[in-house]
A and B are shown apart, each in its own frame.
Chain A
């Protein structure tokens, strides 16, 4: 599904923040991405999300060499990837329902075709009663779940989450982890970037550990 070969990344003329990354993300797999602050987790997530191009090496996603893709092709490919941002990035002028439905709306699908699907997913993440609330009135946990719902509504093949439990209490963190595990069971490959060792200890999964820009894999 995703293949990195000797990938290196530097910003401008600075030092390489990621060095010689070689790994694969297989279909239906689950992995935690961890490492100290500044180790390059967010940069690696951005490479996986096609919002950065590597300065060297080869990245293939869903069989495409990302270096050769046009902007529109990248946008189309990105629809197969869901991402949960650490700061949620919900649109404040839209209701929760509309925020979650956004990926389907930009695909050009008519509203009637996805209405039930969105409502069902919102109920599944326990936001059924808040679906027409605007994000500014939601709690951190509610925003987090809405961001996760938006990331998975288009049934992505790969789900990336950047510190998805960073803003929630341990109970909700556990619930969110269960949610990711269920998504994985339904066929989505999941990459969770986290510092939270307690969270990783709750589920036996592959760990990608970044240290000084290099990747160590613990299967």
Chain B
């Protein structure tokens, strides 16, 4: 356009020369995608809440699975030898012999023969105190702990006991372990199922919240399109903006969940030794989700942010297809 043409249309209200005016202009770099919109803030809230809930679910599954493994390995690390009293057999001698066999057996860590008093104590809850065990055929117990990392040959031990200490029977808690395994597998499977449902709910709610937030941006997409912006340019701007919103919400939700786990871990250490603390610790272990747990929470934050970004990109592309 020629300079003279512009001068002809010169407005009556004059501005300072461009250099001065330039220094006065405060808003040169407003993002193409509006920030701080109500729908944007609502999306951050949805992402934060869903990430928090998904992270709690992940943490709970990790805690249950870890505690279940601990119970199982605790039970599996211990075996019991019982010496059942029988006529013409000295249970004390058999117990000592059986303990000696166990001690000499490879892979065995600690062997402890329960005294008569200790056995009486074990029966006390059922039979009451002040009991004289001499009148009852109470079996003698030998608790054997397996050395860490060792896998003793139970069949061989059972055979040696039968040969060298008749009357001594070996209980490797297999029945309990099988039950425990079934129980923990069920608990972990249920947890993983809930986690999958939680993640699906998170992805769906974040997808719909993103679409809702995008609805208010339709005019921005249209205008950018009509002033000659390429589709990739428009989609890229929206994707970056919504990735940041997703990360922001994810950081709030995931961060809160991590803080909660750290706090729970600290409290469980604080209450260690008290009856309630010990019971909780027996159920859930140390209440720590470990490094892998924190990585899983961070992974969820990234996943949810990526879902937000990709949904916005998809919505931009769909809007552009509808325009043309």
Q: Which residues of A contact B (CB under 8 A)?
A: 49, 51-53, 71-72, 74-76, 78-79, 83, 85, 89-95, 97-98, 102-103, 105-107, 111, 115-116, 119-121, 123-129, 131-132, 150, 152, 154-155, 178-179, 182-183, 185-188
Contacts and interface: CB of A to CB of B under 8 A. Distances in A.
Nearest to A74: B324
A71 B231 contact: yes
Interface string B174-215: 000000000000000000000000000000000000000000
Contact of B9 (A72, A102, A154, A182): A182
A124 B5 CA distance: 10
B27 A152 contact: no
Contacts of B227: 78-79, 102-103, 106, 150
A90 B8 CA distance: 26
A132 B28 CA distance: 9
Contact of A107 (B14, B228, B324): B228
Interface string B224-248: 1111111111000000000000000
Interface stretch (B18-26, B146-154, B306-314): B18-26
Contact of B229 (A106, A116, A129, A179): A106
A111 B225 CA distance: 20
Contacts of B5: 182-183, 185-186
Contacts of B222: 89
Contacts of B27: 94-95, 97-98, 132
9 smallest beta-carbon distances between A and B, as pairs: A126-B11, A79-B228, A128-B15, A106-B229, A93-B34, A186-B1, A116-B18, A103-B227, A75-B230
Contacts of A72: 230-232
Contacts of A119: 15, 18, 21-22
B324 to A, nearest CB: 6
A155 B15 contact: no
A185 B224 CA distance: 28
A10 B5 CA distance: 41
B219 A76 contact: no
A128 B13 contact: yes
Interface residues of B, number: 41
Nearest to B36: A93
B220 interface: yes
A125 B222 CA distance: 24
Interface string B32-69: 10110000000000000000000000000000000000
B318 interface: no
B292 interface: no
Contacts of B9: 124-125, 178-179, 182
A75 B231 contact: yes
Nearest to B237: A106
B30 A89 contact: no
19 contacts: A71-B230, A75-B229, A76-B228, A79-B227, A94-B30, A97-B25, A98-B28, A103-B227, A106-B233, A111-B28, A119-B15, A119-B18, A123-B10, A124-B9, A126-B13, A128-B15, A132-B27, A182-B5, A186-B5
Contacts of B231: 71-72, 75
A155 B1 contact: yes
A59 B234 CA distance: 27
Given A74-B324, A128-B13, A182-B5, 6 more contacts: A51-B226, A94-B30, A97-B28, A116-B18, A123-B11, A128-B15
Nearest to A179: B9
A43 to B, nearest CB: 14
A98 B15 contact: no
Scoring A124, A127, A131, A188 by chain B CB atoms within 10 A of each residue's CB, the highest score goes to: A124
A53 B324 CA distance: 8
A51 B226 CA distance: 8
A98 B230 CA distance: 19
B107 to A, nearest CB: 71
